[in-house]
Amino acid sequence: MEKAKNILTSGKFVRAILWLAGVLAIVAVCMVLFLGRRGGDNVDAGGASSGSRENIVVVNVTAGDTLSKLLSEQGLGHNDINAIANVLKTDAGINGLRADRDKIEFLRDADGAVPSKITVVPGPWRRVELTCDAGGKWQCNAIDIERDTRLVYRQGEILDGDSFYLAGMRADIPAGILAEVYDLLAFEMDFERDVRAGQKFSVVYEENYRDGEKIDNGSVIVVSFDALRGNVKMYRFRKSDKTVGYYDPNGNGAIKSLKRTPINNAKITSSFTTRRKHPVLGFTRAHKGVDFRAPTGTPIPAAGAGRVIARGFNRGHGNFVKIRHNGSFETLYAHMSKFAKNVKVGTVVKQGQIIGYSGSTGLSTGPHLHYEIIKDGKHVNPMTVKLPAINNLDAANKEKFLEYRKTLDAAIEQMADKSGSFIQM
């Protein structure tokens, strides 16, 4: 109170008021600018927001949302909800909503009216518009949005003490692309033993643009790595039947039916050997698999597609899963802390599907994955066994592939010469 009185009695008070008025005026101008922008961007605004001019509400689908729940929240009745669900399924192949991916836009002709147009947005490249005709019938129109795809080239080098991951990040390769590259190379390389300082690598991948603005990354197109055993190179190629695969420069399938290292980036702590001193038992005994360091709870993916033929516990392996992949190959995963929920004996699994979680059950000194490959009933070294390719090319496709590869190689040469250049597809 004392202070206030002092201000009141001095000329400072007038100056303070003027200063405050000035600040408020600036804030007001900023708010007008900001709100004006928001009005225009309304369709892309996050969360549920309502626009003043367009009368559009955008709802981001989150966990627990269902189509009927979201439609009902927007004032649609039972019959409309059923009709919309049906037409989405039959005309657009949309069976349900995906949390944290799909968006729905609701357009109203007037405040408080039932939406006259509903647009399901499953991603940046597709819009599915639903409108109700005069007879009350819902119609569906799926629009694929044209994307401008650029091929970009990145190259890097492994430095002393580096991992491929670090070197890739330094080469400005996006994390998602880098993970895919790693998965591809893992079919041919052992990152533990094949990677040394001085090795060079390069990646060509797609960037997708819309109206000149980058929206997302597409596929990995070419990967090249100068490994110890020689250059590993893979090209993405679409066969005449539209299926896509990766092939080596000679057109041999690069995707193998099994992975040498089921867990990405896992360090090998013990190799395959016919004689070794067992860390727990103390006496010399063969190590019929490879041990990968993996903290308890690390998800363990199936090394290849197949059928689970054993899931259980024994004294040595602890909790283990065994998968039969084809007539000659089986894989075994041991010391798991727990199994994946839906993986049982008889379950058909895909390559990369999580079958369990690492642990230290059975005869084990610490959490790790013990991984075995059994070929024709005999244990083989996962790091050196020759693995069959999933799909090789027939003569006609091979010829097309070799032509395509030449074109790509020429393009890569151009891009490698000029850093930052790209090729418009």
The footprint of Zn ion (CB under 5 A) covers 291, 370
Q: Which is nearer to Zn ion, 207 or 291 (CB)?
A: 291
Find, among 292, 365, 305, the residue nearest to 333 by Cα.
292
In Å, how far from its chain's centre is CA 191?
A: 21
Judge contact between 84 and 132, C-beta under 8 A: no
CB nearest Zn ion: which residue?
370
**Integer Cα distance of 205 and 417 in angstroms:** 17
We find the least distance from the C-beta atom of residue 288 to Zn ion, in angstroms, to be 8
We find the least distance from the C-beta atom of residue 293 to Zn ion, in angstroms, to be 11
**Integer Cα distance of 319 and 73 in angstroms:** 47
**Integer Cα distance of 209 and 237 in angstroms:** 22
Q: Which is nearer to Zn ion, 127 or 317 (CB)?
A: 317
Q: Which is nearer to Zn ion, 259 or 370 (CB)?
A: 370
We find the least distance from the C-beta atom of residue 417 to Zn ion, in angstroms, to be 48
**Integer Cα distance of 328 and 333 in angstroms:** 17
We find the least distance from the C-beta atom of residue 142 to Zn ion, in angstroms, to be 51
We find the least distance from the C-beta atom of residue 336 to Zn ion, in angstroms, to be 13
At 158, list the tokens.
């492994």
We find the least distance from the C-beta atom of residue 270 to Zn ion, in angstroms, to be 6
We find the least distance from the C-beta atom of residue 93 to Zn ion, in angstroms, to be 45
Identity at 191, one-letter amino acid code: F
Q: Which is nearer to Zn ion, 219 or 284 (CB)?
A: 284
At 393, list the tokens.
């090319």
**Integer Cα distance of 72 and 276 in angstroms:** 66
Q: Which is nearer to Zn ion, 310 or 363 (CB)?
A: 363
Q: Which is nearer to Zn ion, 233 or 317 (CB)?
A: 317
Q: Which is nearer to Zn ion, 236 or 287 (CB)?
A: 287
DSSP per position, 319-345: EEEEEE-SSSEEEEEEEEEEE-TT--T
SS3 content of the chain, % helix, strand, coil (to 5): 25, 35, 40
Q: Which is nearer to Zn ion, 325 or 370 (CB)?
A: 370
C-alpha distances (whole Å) from 10 to each of 5, 22, 376 are: 9, 20, 98
We find the least distance from the C-beta atom of residue 361 to Zn ion, in angstroms, to be 13
Judge contact between 157 and 166, C-beta under 8 A: no
